[in-house]
Amino acid sequence: MATTNDIKNGTVLNIDGQLWNVLEFQHVKPGKGGAFVRTKLKSVLTGKVVDKTFNAGAKIETANVDKSDMEYLYHDGSDYIFMNTSTYDQVPISDAIVGDAKDFLLENTVVQVASHNDAPLYIDLPSSVVLEITYTEPGLQGDRSTGGTKPATLETGAQIQVPLFVEQGTKVKVDTRDRSYLGRVND
């Protein structure tokens, strides 16, 4: 058991038998009344985001979550096969757990996999990845109706918006959190 003072971003709480990941927290001390902690929690299983308030000093149950580096090997049916980089064990992780992270997974990509009681919960991607653009329309000079961007398809099949000057075959750096274009990468 822990208290609300132990809440940090990334902490996993066990509330009524469900696991919730802390996205944001804020300690609030109003002028009148007792202090409290306002949190934004994301369900580890469903991805649902809720706001929850705890009284300051209240007892909360934290879940023991292990994070380990795993290398993505290949996709097999409805599972993604990862290899633990320290034990070399291969672990199948279902499509539902991988979720939108599949848009940035290339073979041999190393990610962090969080697990609770040896059951994978979610995948933490690196904050940015380098991927090649497999298809994009040529940018027309003077076309500013879209704010100077155009859609592009990455080698993983994901779609992002890139500036008009970026061409097919270019390697680009992409932010995995908001799918934004960060720049070109020279080999």
CB atoms within 10 A of CB 167: 14
* Total of domains in the chain: 3
Residue 56 vs residue 144, higher pLDDT: 56
Q: Identify the domain containing residue 84 by its residue range.
A: 66-124
Same domain, 71 and 110: yes
Structural contact between residues 13 and 61, judged by C-beta atoms closer than 8 angstroms: yes
For 100-115, how does the pLDDT look when each residue is reduced to its tens digit (9 = 90+)?
A: 888 899 888 899 988 8
Of the candidates 69, 79, 12, 81, the residue with the CA atom closest to the CA atom of residue 42: 12
Same domain, 94 and 134: no
Q: Which of 27, 60, 93 is the last residue of a domain?
A: 60
Supply the CATH number for residue 105's domain: 2.40.50.140
Q: Residue type for 60, please?
A: I
Q: Which long-range contacts (CB under 8 A, 24 or more apart) does 146-150 make?
A: 149/181
Q: What is the mean pLDDT of residues 21-31?
A: 89
Supply the CATH number for residue 28's domain: 2.30.30.30
For 129-170, how does the pLDDT look when each residue is reduced to its tens digit (9 = 90+)?
A: 999 999 988 866 665 555 678 889 999 889 999 888 888 889
